[in-house]
Structure 1
Amino acid sequence: MADHDSEEQTAALLAPSPEFLARIAVFPLFHPIQKDVIKTIDSALTWDQLTASDINFSIVRPIVLKYAKLKNMAVVYACLVNRAYFLKESEEDLAYAGVMLSRATLCEILAMKLLSHFASNHITLVAVLTTSWSPLAGATPEVVQEVKQVLGSNANVNDPQSALEMAISTEAKRFISSPVSQSVVNDIYSGRIVFSTATTRSMLADNYKPKAITLYDSRDAPFLDHYRLRVPRYGAILEFLNFACLLVTFVLCLSNQDHAKLTFWEVVFIVFAAAFTLEEYTAATEHGWIIYIANMWNVFDTSFVLVFLCYVGLRIKGLSYGDLEASNLAFDLLSCGACILFPRLAFFAVSNNVVVLSLREMIRQFVYFILLAAICFSGLLFTLWKLGGGHWTFKKIAWLMVQIWFGNTYLSFAQAESFHPVFGPILMTTFAALSNTLLLTILISILSNTVARIDANATQEHLFQFAISTIEGVKADALFSYQPPFNLLALAVLKPTSYIVTPRTLHSLNVLLIKITSFPILIVIGIYERYFATGQSLRESSRDAAHNFFNSLPRHIKNMPLVEALVGSASSDLYDAIFEIDAMGPALFDDSDEEEDFPRLRSVASHDTITSAERVRRRPSHVSLPGRSPLRPERSPHGSPRLRPLSGVIGLDLGVSSAEVSSGGRSPLAKFFSHVDPPSPSPGHTEASLRRVEALLEDLRDLPVHRLKDEMRELQERQARIEQLLLTLTRGMRSSDTGSKHT
């Protein structure tokens, strides 16, 4: 039995092989899901309506069970691909945008529910979400050829993508924030799940030894494991350190600038900034621009890259032609990059905070509103320029309007007549009223609503950004294993070598170069994971020692507020220990008492009812409960009396069966149909039985059966007389109508 359990446990830990995943048919899933969703949803419905209990059981659940029977690991990915299709249709067909959005929402719900069917095996669940599925896997050659004709001859039809990446690109935030998805994202982020992805868009691809999905164990892994550099948790720490180095060199470069020549710190900064630019470009190429730009911090990084590239261009021009103005402008432009670098480093610790998420959306809304206002007031700018004649230039009028927009309304009244004695005051007063009173009030309202909306969905947005950063951390490109500026060296050495050597030689050279350039980092990671990580021996022993030391302290020291706040209250540990042990004390209630006190609904044909009936047959039949009868009359809704059996007959188990209840004045029918003990072998048993039957028959004769028959006969006669009377009246009415017509 133990061997069998160990085999099952080992099988549960085995991940699907790459060969098995490559044989899974993906393409045949797309169109059936699309047809079922179109057939199901034909009106605009919200998320709450689609997740209501009635729609869930009547519509969603049958579709989920239908596709869950296939046990196809790519079905979640197929649902998200259909979501992308319906989202695109909602943008193109505005008349049915609401319906298309509802269908896209239904695809997300189907993906969430189908994902839960794979949650029993964690490795399989990881494979469902992280495997890069090829959309045309399982398609016939004719279908592949048709797709190529639609896309064009030079199109790449082999563009694999994982379910998590598809969820990010379609902004399926509820799917990503679900507990099942987050369990996988957390394991990937912490490095508990190890896998490698193969991609065709890498700058430096090293796919010689793809790593299958496994649970990481530091005891089995090599001490200098270069794959740990791709763990998102360690990658975030290293990214923070690299960004700090970039910021330091940035400050030193501006502090020691020389317009005529390159200084030492300027060269160091250019090297670090070029390595940072290469890293950002590689990340955008690896996962695609949509996923890359979905991370709000990548917008800041891209802005700094643009500033750096403009600085390099102006600096090259200034040094090549001796243009000091170009060099001066280059340093001035580079100084503006401090507005990006300093907040970027400060927000590393609170990257997914609600305030930061709200700030991102507020900036987007603010920029959109300002651009819209600038377009609207461009007509007023042109009018003032024409009215001002030669006194006011275009640049001065624009700067004046900016000052008035941001609250300096005094200038609007002071300079109004300089444009025109009549139209100038009217136009400037109107502009001041619109900009400072109306539009700023609208802008504040928009930003307030944005903050409230982000705050309401803060958890989903936080988990969505966390999933993006995690997926970006798992990169297949070999350049991500090098820390800047060593990625420049790797690109310069390994990229030309990849065209010459075999994949095995390239892999060996890549591993050797990674271990040389990242040797101190690998040493620190190896020591931490073997001795200081959660669950390791040194950490557990130190925790036990601290716990024993705390228990050895006097009681008055333990109860000090500061010590209790630092260590924690021991009452929670006591409560946990109470529920972890089995209760060995005396029972407060007997099982029979519990059965009698708590009624339960049971089916008549259930096993419990049959068992209770057998138990009744084995018990004595002479149990008397005064004041209760097994059958009692009850008024029906129509007013006629009927006999209603007690709870033991209809299945409401009150602890006492109706077969056990016996009152002193039972009716003859109850006596006749009640349980009769089996005959005893005594000589006078037959005569006693006959006398009992005769007595029961006498009681039956006393029943008002004949009286009931007479009443029924009398009712039938009355009904016949009434029908005869109605027939006579009907004939009389017909004869009178006929006579009136003849007259």
Structure 2
Amino acid sequence: MDDSIDDADPSPGSHVEQDDNDILFFEADESVETDPCFDLEQDRRAPPINLPLTDTDCQIDDPYSLDHMTSPRFNNLVIRPLLDRLYDEYDYSIVYCLLANRVQFLREQSSVVHQSTSIARANLCELLAIRIIRNFQEDNPGQGGLLTLSKILVEGFDPFSGAPEDVQTSGRYPQWPIQNRGGHERKITALELAIISESKNFISSPGCQRVIEAVYQGWIVYTPLSFVDLLPNHFEYQPVSLYDPQKAPLLNHRRLIVPRSRYAIEFVQYIVLVVLYILAMMHRGTNALWMYETLFISYSAGWVLHEFAAIIEHGWTIHSQKLWSFLDLTFTLIFTVYVIIRGCEVTIVSMERGMALNFLCLAAPVLLTRLAFNILPDHIVFISLHAMMKEFLILTFLATWCFTGFLLALQWLATGDESTTIPGDFTIIKWLLWIWFGLDGTGIEASVQFHAILGPGLTIAFAFLGNTLFLTILVSLLTNRFSKIVTSETVEIQFRRAVLTFEGVKSDAIFAYPPPFNLFALVILLPLRCILSPRTFHLTHVTLVRISNAPLLLVIGLYERHRQWATVSGRKSSRPWQFTGFSPHGDIQAVFEVEPPLYVQEEADELDGLSEMGFSDNDAVSRLSREMRPPVVFSLSNAKVGSPR
């Protein structure tokens, strides 16, 4: 690592070069030799991704809670020694290693014996990552510091980087055929690991939020890493760098993968999908149906291709963290079945018409609900619905499984007595459903038709298990889940925003083409990729993207030149007045925009330093309250303002 990082140019468009950011091996310090849990020679042969694993195994053998880990005593005995051991201002991979170890510890919690201890070790890894990212933020201020934090979080690392060839050959898991990325294959970012491990406290930390906001606004640009691309275009690799709209081309096709612009584009595309769906359903039975239905099918096919590419880009684990992922999957299934039925109606003459459109009616609640999720993505109700959906589906599956057992028992019991009238299968299912939802007790009264004793016994047992017990458990679990989400509302919102930001930076070239043009791009460009050279294919792709998105790229380029970077650089508005001039409370905002005196900043730094040394907040405040000078006082009258006492 050269010394250019400390002297990084903070100007827009500059980026810091890191010569060894892919080397995950580092030499252990001298203090390691005295640690009985650590072998120096083993450390020189193994990647440092195992170093946090070894340290946390040695330090944590009890099921500590997060409250215990944040106490001053635990901070002095465990956190600070580990920070001194792990933190290195030139090692950008340590946060990645800690989060990778957290993923491993969470995977190990499936063992009942070590479940509590593994959770404690996973929480310790997250806490160490928070403290280390905080140290990086404090040691690297300004735009250069933002670039450093971005390299830590969104630059990819390979877990086996630097390992011997035999270790890489025997240790790697087989994957999908690796696409050539010019040396960036099999790499994962620290931010992706944080999302996979649901490190919500780490994501909500100030340093991480600073990077997420910069990536979301497009101030930080980079070439994202992905698992599989439908239309790969990896000829150019853009390292993590600051974006300067004044130096970028006016029709910059890379601005289509900025999360803020990407979210707006996808929202407009979804609005078009809903409008076409409504038009197709409103013209049922008219002569214009074929036109609207053709438009809807072609556009929806391109939209489904877009969703499929989004799923395989980072895997279902990441994509499922989006609030509306289950709604998109539901619509995809409905549309697929609709197309199959519609194709059968067209090819089979004797088949009844109208069944496909009847099935397509099921998409209405899905599409409109998803629209509400898009409009209010940060609302706690929608976040809670997404979080509770998994538990609800699991309990519903278990209840349905039990329901099937009672259904079979009643069917077999009915066939055993030929002297009585046997209810049909549909009638039995209807009775059980009514009992399940508490709508009607007809099934209990008619249960004597199955058997005089066993029939009522089965239906009453089903009523207790399926209605009373199941609903009690379901309400208790969902209430507990909702209360936890409401308690950490800010953390949950920031986590969902991080998911949208990470997924918004697209790697696949197919996302540059809006539906249904992405279908034509896949059919035409994918075969050309096998014929053309990588450079020619890249130039062809860029030209087509700029032509098809020229108006949108022009609007984005002009907007960023006049508005966006002016906000980032802190330049004052050219307007001679502000809206706060019409408010009697404008000075409340103005007083906090004034830089405080130097001695006030020094005293605040001292208070922060005491917190780092392990003092509790009460001890630090009680000590400084005796040493600090009186606060700055501003006169509230028209009298002459004196200097601070």
- TM-score tier by shorter-chain length is 0.7 to 0.9
- 1:115 matched to 2:133? The reply is yes
Q: Deviations over 1:654-686 (max 9, x none)?
A: xxxxxxxxxxxxxxxxxxxxxxxxxxxxxxxxx
Contact 1:256–1:263 at 8 Å: present in 2 too? Answer: no
2:400 maps to which residue?
Answer: 374
Contact 1:261 1:319 in 2 (8 A): no
> Equivalent residue for 2:510?
479
In structure 2, the partner of 1:402 is: 433
Q: Note the C-alpha offset of 1:23.
A: 4.8
Structure 1 residues 542 and 344, CA, compared in 2 at 3 Å: closer, same or farther?
A: farther
Write out aligned runs for 1:166-245 (5 A). 166-199=193-226, 201-245=228-272
- Quote the Cα distance in structure 2 between the aligned partners of 1:147 and 1:520: 49
1:263 maps to 2:290: yes
- 2:374 and 2:95 mapped to 1: Cα distance? 33
Q: Distance in 2 between matches of 1:349 and 1:413?
A: 46
* 1:86/1:100 contact within 8 Å kept: yes
User: What is residue 575 of structure 1 aligned with on the other side?
Assistant: 591
Of residues 459-468 and 248-257 in structure 1, the stretch that sits farther from structure 2 once superposed is 248-257
SS in 2 for 1:219: coil
Q: How many angstroms apart in 2 are the aligned matches of 1:451 and 1:153?
A: 38
CA distance in structure 2 between the partners assigned to 1:328 and 1:308 by the alignment: 15
SS at match of 1:348: helix
Whether the 8 Å CA contact 1:177–1:460 is kept in 2: the answer is yes
Rounded to whole Å, the distance in 2 between the matches of 1:116 and 1:13 is 24
The partner residue of 1:348 within 374, 390, 400 is 374
1:130–1:163 contact (8 Å) kept in structure 2: yes
C-alpha displacement of 1:235:
0.8
1:464–1:324 Cα change, 3 Å: same
Q: 5 Å matches for 1:317-332? A: 317-325=344-352, 328-332=354-358
CA 1:254–1:493 in structure 2 vs 1: closer, same or farther (change >3 Å)? same
TM-superposed CA distance for 1:266, in Å, is 1.3
Contact 1:479 1:490 in 2 (8 A): yes
- Aligned-residue Cα RMSD (Å) equals 3.3
User: Which has the higher mean CA deviation after the structures are superposed, 192-201 or 229-238?
Assistant: 192-201
Letter in 1 for 2:346: L
Question: Which residue matches 1:440?
Answer: 471
Instruction: State the Cα distance separating 1:391 from its structure 2 match.
Output: 2.6
Structure 2 CA distance, aligned partners of 1:152 and 1:407? Answer: 49
Check if 1:535 corresponds to 2:566: yes
Residues 422-501 of structure 1: pairs in structure 2 closer than 5 A: 422-501=453-532
Identify the range of structure 1 (382-391 vs 517-526) with the bigger mean alpha-carbon deviation: 382-391
Provide the C-alpha distance between the structure 2 equivalents of 1:221 and 1:307, rounded to a whole number of angstroms: 43
Rounded Cα–Cα distance in structure 1 between residues aligned with 2:286 and 2:168:
59
Partners of 2:59 and 2:78 within 8 A in 1: yes
Cα deviation for residue 535 of structure 1 reads 3.2
Cα deviation 1:433-463 (Å, max 9, x = unaligned): 5544443333323222221121112222221
Aligned partners of 2:227 and 2:312 also within 8 Å:
no
Q: Which residue of 2 aligns with 1:669?
A: none
Q: Which residue of 2 aligns with 1:96?
A: 114
Select the structure of larger CA radius of gyration.
1
- Equivalent in 26, 50, 73 of residue 92 of structure 2: 73
Deviation at 1:371, TM superposition (A): 2.4
CA displacement at 1:427 relative to structure 2: 4.2
Give the corresponding residue for 1:692: none
Aligned residue for 1:544? Answer: 576
> Any conservation in 1 of the 2:276–2:292 contact (CA below 8 Å)?
yes
Q: Using a 3 Å threshold, how does the CA distance of structure 1 residues 464 and 53 change in structure 2: closer, same or farther?
A: same
Q: Is the 8 A contact 1:18 1:212 kept in 2?
A: no
Deviations 1:164-223 (A, max 9, x none): 011111221111121111110111111111112254622222222222222222222222
- Is the contact between residue 9 and residue 15 of structure 2 (CA under 8 Å) also seen in structure 1? no
Identity of matched residues, %: 32
Residues of 2 paired with 1:251 and 1:88: CA distance?
Answer: 45
Is the 1:259–1:328 Cα contact (8 Å) retained in structure 2? no
The secondary structure found in structure 2 opposite 1:160 is coil
Report the CA distance between 1:393 and its aligned residue.
1.6
1:519 aligns with 2:543: no
Cα distance between partner residues in 2 of 1:392 and 1:169: 50
Matched AA of 1:494: L
Kindly indicate whether the alpha-carbon contact (under 8 Å) linking 2:47 and 2:159 is maintained by their aligned counterparts in 1.
no
How many angstroms apart in 2 are the aligned matches of 1:155 and 1:225? 28
Cα offset, 1:8, TM superposition: 6.1
Aligned residue identity for 2:148: T
For the 8 Å contact 1:260–1:319, the answer to whether it is kept is no
Equivalent of 2:148 in 103, 114, 124:
124
| CA positional deviation for 1:374 | 2.8
Amino acid of the residue matched to residue 369 of structure 2?
A: P
Secondary structure of the residue aligned to 1:294 is coil
Instruction: Name the structure 2 match of 1:165.
Output: 192
Aligned partner letter, 2:122:
A
Q: Summarize the Cα distance change of 1:580–1:18 in structure 2 as closer, same or farther, 3 Å threshold.
A: closer
User: Which residue in 1 is equivalent to 2:163?
Assistant: 139
Q: Is the Cα contact below 8 Å between 1:12 and 1:123 reproduced in 2?
A: no
Q: Higher RCO, 1 or 2 (CA under 8 Å, sep at least 6)?
A: 2
Instruction: Specify whether residues 286 and 363 from structure 1 end up closer, same or farther in structure 2 by C-alpha distance, changes over 3 A only.
Output: closer
1:64 aligns with 2:83: yes
Amino acid in the other structure paired with 1:350: L
Q: Which amino acid aligns with 2:80?
A: R
Q: What amino acid sits opposite 1:348 in the alignment?
A: N
Within 1, Cα distance between the matches of 2:471 and 2:596? Answer: 64
Contact 1:83-1:107 at 8 Å conserved across structures: yes
Q: 2:302 aligns with which of 275, 281, 286?
A: 275
Q: Which moved more, 1:166-175 or 1:211-220?
A: 211-220
Deviation at 1:386, TM superposition (A): 3.8
Deviation of residue 485 (structure 1)?
1.9
Q: 1:110 to 1:12 in 2, by over 3 A?
A: farther
**Corresponding residue for residue 383 of structure 1:** 409
Q: Deviations over 1:126-174 (max 9, x none)?
A: 00100111222111223223325x7599899941110001111122111
SS at match of 2:136: coil
Distance change >3 Å, CA 362–CA 89, structure 1 → 2? closer
The one-letter code matched in structure 2 to 1:544 is P
Displacement of 1:387 in angstroms is 4.2
Tell me, yes or no, if the aligned pair for 1:13 and 1:123 is still in contact at 8 Å. Answer: no
Note if contact 1:86-1:101 (Cα within 8 Å) is conserved in structure 2: yes
> Which residue type is aligned with residue 212 of structure 1?
P
Q: Which residue of 2 aligns with 1:619?
A: none
1:105 aligned residue: 123
1: CA distance between counterparts of 2:147 and 2:177?
Answer: 37
Superposed displacement of residue 402, structure 1: 0.8
Matched length: 561
What is the letter of the counterpart of residue 162 of structure 1? T
Matched residue, 1:312? 339
Is the contact between residue 227 and residue 314 of structure 2 (CA under 8 Å) also seen in structure 1?
no
Q: For the residues of structure 2 that align with 1:481 and 1:21, how far apart are their CA atoms?
A: 30
Alpha-carbon separation, structure 2, partners of 1:112 and 1:45: 18
Q: Distance in 2 between matches of 1:248 and 1:20?
A: 51
Q: TM-score, normalised by structure 1?
A: 0.69
Conservation of the 8 A alpha-carbon contact between 2:388 and 2:478: yes
**Are 1:336 and 2:362 matched, yes or no?**
yes
Q: Match for residue 21 of structure 1?
A: 21
Q: Helix, strand or coil: the match of 1:324?
A: coil
Gaps of 5+ in 1: 552-557, 559-563, 584-651, 654-743
SS in 1 for 2:114: helix
